[in-house]
Structures are given as C-alpha cells and as structure tokens.
Amino acid sequence: MLKRDFLKNGLLTMVGALVSPALLAAAHEEKLLREARAMPIADGPFSLPALPYAFNALEPHIDAKTMEIHHDAHHKTYVSKLNEAVAGKPEEKLSLAQLLASASKQPDAIRNNAGGHWNHSFFWLLLAPKGGGQPTGALAAAINKDFGSYEKFQEEFTKAATSRFGSGWAWLIHDKQAGKLAITSTPNQDNPLMDLPGIQRGTPLLGLDVWEHAYYLKYQNKRPDYVKAFYNVINWAEVNRRFDEARKG
C-alpha cells in the first residue's frame, strides 16, 4: 500500500511539473469565462459595453483569448455585481460618475465594482488596432512641458505601471487645479475620480490595467513586457480628445 501510494504521488508530482503555469492560468480563465457567460447581467442601471473591435484586433501585442476573457468574463462580472450591489438602494438612482465621486461613502461591493466597470469601459476605448506612435498637438506640447519629452513621460508611466504592487492601474491624468499633467497609480479598481484618501485626483486621460488577468496568458509574470507592448496599441486620438475636453471642462 505504501509503495503504491508513493508511486502514485510521484507520478502526480511529475505530471504537475509538466503542466506550465500558463496552461493552469488558461484553464482557470476558461472556467471564469464559462461561468460569466452562464450568468446573465443582473437587472439594473448598468450594462456591459460592446468591445469596439474584434478580440484578435490587437494581436500580437494583446492576444485574442486574453481580450475575450477580460471583456466577457471579468468586465461582465463587475457589471453584474454592481447591479446586484445597488439593487433596491438609493445608489441605484446614481450615475456611475456619482458613485465614483462618493466612493469613500460606499460599501466595498459598490466601490470595487463601480471602479471595475468604469475603468474597463474607459480602457477599451484607449486601445486601437492601428494604435501606437506618439500623441500630437496640444497633448504632445503638454507632455513635453510637464515631463520634458515623450520618452521621459514613457519612462515615468512605465515605472508607475511596473512598480504598482499587486493589482491596480497606472494613469496619466489632467490635474485642473495645478494646470498640468501627472502620472499616478491606484490599487485594485480605484481610480483618480474617486474621493479616497491617498489618491491623486484628476481627469484620467490614459489608463493601463496591470491586474494579472490583463496579461498573464501571454506574458505570464513578465509585466514589463506587457507594459512595453501596450505602447503599440494606445489610441492616441482618443487620449488627445479627452485632453481637449479636460482643458475646456
């Protein structure tokens, strides 16, 4: 009996060693995707926006399977959970912007899922199949003024994204009071629109999701490689537009 158990355990250990972390992660994400598809969007004021391009449109920089799971499982779950959290409460009548602005007064279920919904809705629009390059016009001038050069901006933004411990986001924001651009990061699904202590507030112009589910299938634990790839798919036209709105607002 002992010998048989020893051989069985040894075989399981050998098999486990042959299964890569990427395959294990893929299996886990597939499970999440199946569960999310089986879960209808709860009745409520918030809905899942359609992805504005095909799942494979950002390849080779961001793979199709990651985009499918990220949108159809993770983002969908934030929307469903947010609708559940506000159902039958005064918050049900508040807009997403109002929920973010009052995040310090909200329970975790509303704060986290409202942030997750807004952050991802924002994120999809910042990516483009023919993205990359550099900003132009007034935004390019502001980046040069506030950071010294586009390369310096890129260096600071990369540092914010790669040094964020655990899960979270890196942001380029417009600080209206200071009249300048700034780079910051937030934990979990918090963002610069929230009235939370320790958060540098401002209007988000660019955001990068550095949760592992955003990159692990392709890049595993190599977050810097994912951040580097992100610069190839930035929709600078959208960032430029948001900057123009932020200056006028």
| Amino acid of residue 15 | V
28 is in an annotated binding site: no
Q: How many CA atoms lie within 13 A of 173 on its CB side?
A: 23
**Residue 95 has what pLDDT?**
96
Rounded Cα gap, residues 88 and 86, in angstroms: 6
Rounded Cα gap, residues 84 and 138, in angstroms: 42
pLDDT, tens digit (0-9, with 9 covering 90-100), for 115-157: 999 999 999 999 999 999 999 999 999 999 999 999 999 999 9
**Residue 41 has what pLDDT?**
55
**CB count in 10 Å sphere of residue 249:** 8
190 is in an annotated binding site: no
Contact 126, 235 (CB under 8 A): yes
How would you class 34 by CB atoms within 10 Å of its CB: exposed for 0-12, middle for 13-18, buried for 19 or more? exposed
The pTM for the full model equals 0.85
Task: List the chain residues with pLDDT less than 70.
Answer: 1-26, 28-43
Distances (CA, A) of 5 to 1, 19, 134: 6, 21, 60
213 is in an annotated binding site: yes
**Residue 20 has what pLDDT?**
63
Domains for the chain: give ranges and CATH numbers. 61-248 (3.55.40.20)
**Residue 6 has what pLDDT?**
45
Beta strand 168-175 with 180-187 is antiparallel
Rounded Cα gap, residues 139 and 145, in angstroms: 10
71 is in an annotated binding site: no
| Length of the chain as a residue count | 249
**Residue 2 has what pLDDT?**
45
